[in-house]
């Protein structure tokens, strides 16, 4: 069986991105590999063995075109309201809180946060299919 270990996103300024992910989700640098043309930074926290890999191509000067495929990362937290308020108070870009209940029953409570490169991070409140996910948030 395969185990997912990381997902990579390309960023223009890794210092800015490292600070954003630390402020938003408490991620810290687990490792950093610096090469002549690019740098890889791995971010993680104690809640999961999964890492986010930030890749900087050193000759890149223009922001990446994220396209219209709507791919995104997602995290689960105990309280979407609490993290939404914390992120807002830090001046981080967050969307509105959404109660997703198309047939009347609440399926999920979530919001999206936007990182410095425009990536959308979905923040889902623990519950439903994510009820058994371990969180300390």
* Cβ–Cβ < 8 Å for 22, 28: yes
Q: How many other β-carbons are positioned within 10 Å of the β-carbon of residue 51?
A: 19
Q: Which of 47, 86, 93, 122 is catalytic?
A: 122
Task: Decide if 137 is inside a domain.
Answer: no
List beta partners, residue 121: 73, 113
Structural domain count, the chain: 2
Confidence at 69, pLDDT banded by 50, 70, 90: confident
Exposure b/e, 78-96, CB count within 10 A at least 16 = b: eebeebbeebeeeebebee
The range of the structural domain enclosing residue 113 comes to 71-128
Task: Decide if 51 is inside a domain.
Answer: yes
Task: Decide if 87 is inside a domain.
Answer: yes
Confidence at 49, pLDDT banded by 50, 70, 90: confident
Q: What is the pLDDT of residues 70-128, one digit of tens each?
A: 778 899 999 999 999 999 999 999 999 999 888 888 888 999 999 999 999 999 999 87
- Alpha-carbon torsion 136, 133, 47, 33, what sign? negative
Task: Decide if 64 is inside a domain.
Answer: no
CATH code assigned at 43: 3.10.180.10
Task: Decide if 93 is inside a domain.
Answer: yes
Token digits for 11? 């960023």
Catalytic site includes residue 93: no
Could you tell me the pTM of the whole model?
0.83
Backbone torsion region of residue 136, taken as left when φ is above 0, otherwise alpha when ψ lies between -120 and 50, otherwise beta: alpha
């Amino acid at each position: 069986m395969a185990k997912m270990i990381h997902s990579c996103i390309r960023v223009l300024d890794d210092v800015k991105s490292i600070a954003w992910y630390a402020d938003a989700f408490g991620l810290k640098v687990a490792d950093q590999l610096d090469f002549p043309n690019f740098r890889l930074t791995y971010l993680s926290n104690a809640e999961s063995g999964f890492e986010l890999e930030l890749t900087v191509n050193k000759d890149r000067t223009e922001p990446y075109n994220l396209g219209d495929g709507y791919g995104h990362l997602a995290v689960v937290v105990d309280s979407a309201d609490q993290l939404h308020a914390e992120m807002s108070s830090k001046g981080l870009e967050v969307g509105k809180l959404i109660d997703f209940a198309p047939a009347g029953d609440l399926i999920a409570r979530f919001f999206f946060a936007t990182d410095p490169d425009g990536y959308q991070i979905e923040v889902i409140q623990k519950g439903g299919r994510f009820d058994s996910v371990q969180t300390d948030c």
